Amino acid sequence: MKNIIQVAGVRNQRDLDILLSCGVDYIGFPFRLSHHREDISKQEAARLIGQIPPTSKAVLITYLGDAAKIQVLSDYLKVKAVQLHGDISLKELSILRKKAPRLEIIKSLIIGIESWSGLEDRIEQYSPFTHAFITDTFDRKSGAQGATGKTHDWEISRRIVERSPKPVILAGGLNPTNVKQAIEQVRPAGVDAHTGLEDPQGNKDAKKVKAFVTKARQTFQKLITNKKAT
């Protein structure tokens, strides 16, 4: 995983068409959420996922913590990756890895809930069972862990990138105006946006998506070029 651009929250065919036309790498479909309404039915999601070409990847984003239920939903949607945002035990995570060895597992690390030492412990505990981490923002007012539209302290995410043996995706309040600074400061393996790319009705804004992808790609490439030069 390197220089990945993920966009979550597909509500309809138009949303998917926009993301594919802009070259988004990972396309997130949230289901079984604790604080947010599901965007579409799982039947419609499965139909849309069937249209995604091999150049992109569908990702199930869920707060489920039961390995069997995660596997059933992943199989139904025919996704190759799952992003776990809820509390899941190491036992259940181990079971999921064994039962679905080809499923790419991305585990969230929510900024704003616990101390740095707590985050370090989670990195150490979850790393053997995950392929990547994603940092996101905790909203104290609503209790939501992600999809809050709010940024967090990027220095913490930068420390996670430096500490983690697995790739780290940066999420939390990202949009076309701040993604360049975010990548330069955090140096993540990928970036994720959701609410920051929507119009007032909650649908994907084509101009925002295109600007986000363009700026992210340019910034990732700039870091690669600068690294080679040194």
Q: Is the pLDDT of residue 140 over 70?
A: no
Q: Is the pLDDT of residue 220 over 60?
A: yes
Q: Is the pLDDT of residue 124 over 60?
A: yes
Q: 142: pLDDT confidence band, cut at 50, 70 and 90?
A: low
What is the tally of structural domains in the chain? 1
Report yes or no: 86 and 138 within 8 Å, Cβ to Cβ.
no
pLDDT, residue 81, reads 97
pLDDT, residue 136, reads 83
On the 0-12 / 13-18 / 19+ scale of CB atoms within 10 A, 209 is buried
Q: How far, in Å, CA of 228 to CA of 230, rounded?
A: 5
Give the mean model confidence (pLDDT) for residues 73-77.
96
pLDDT, residue 145, reads 64
Q: How far, in Å, CA of 174 to CA of 180, rounded?
A: 10
Q: Is the pLDDT of residue 74 over 90?
A: yes
Q: Is the pTM of this model over 0.75?
A: yes
Give the mean model confidence (pLDDT) for residues 84-98.
93
Q: Is the pLDDT of residue 35 over 60?
A: no
Give the mean model confidence (pLDDT) for residues 126-145.
82
Specify the CATH number for the domain of residue 98.
Answer: 3.20.20.70
The residue segments making up the domain with residue 40 are 4-229
pLDDT, residue 19, reads 98
139 compared with 42, residue with greater pLDDT: 42
